[in-house]
Amino acid sequence: MVLVAILNALDVMAGITLIANISFLLLPLGLFHFVKGGWTLYTSFKQGFFFEVLGGIDFLGGICCILAYHGIIPVSFLVIGIIMVIKGVFCFMIGGFSSS
């Protein structure tokens, strides 16, 4: 349960970092989310589940953070940052209220 809360806090932090363009956090959070999202997509596809939206958001957010670190910042990154914050809050609420 604590790990879920930490991962969700990192989702929110990455979204805020992408929105505010906080340069020293972009690369580490981008690499983390790129790997986390890639792993989620890989394991989901391997099991035959091809509609993995949350992993796709992590993967896309990771790519956006890495590109923003290197100075490539289109306006659409703001939308992706907002989606990452919403995803982090949503997953925290779902994970925080579960009975397990």
pLDDT tens-place string over residues 24-74: 999 999 999 999 999 999 999 999 998 889 999 999 999 999 999 999 999
Residues in the chain: 100
Backbone angles phi, psi at 7, to 5 degrees: -65, -40
Domain enclosing residue 89, as ranges: 2-96
Answer positive or negative: Cα dihedral of 33, 36, 37, 38: positive
What tokens appear for 54 in the block? 């949350």
Under the banding of pLDDT at 50, 70 and 90, the label for residue 96 is: low
DSSP, res 74: -
Can you give the pLDDT at residue 32? 97
- CA-based nearest residue to 58, from 24, 7, 3: 7
Domains contained in the chain, number: 1
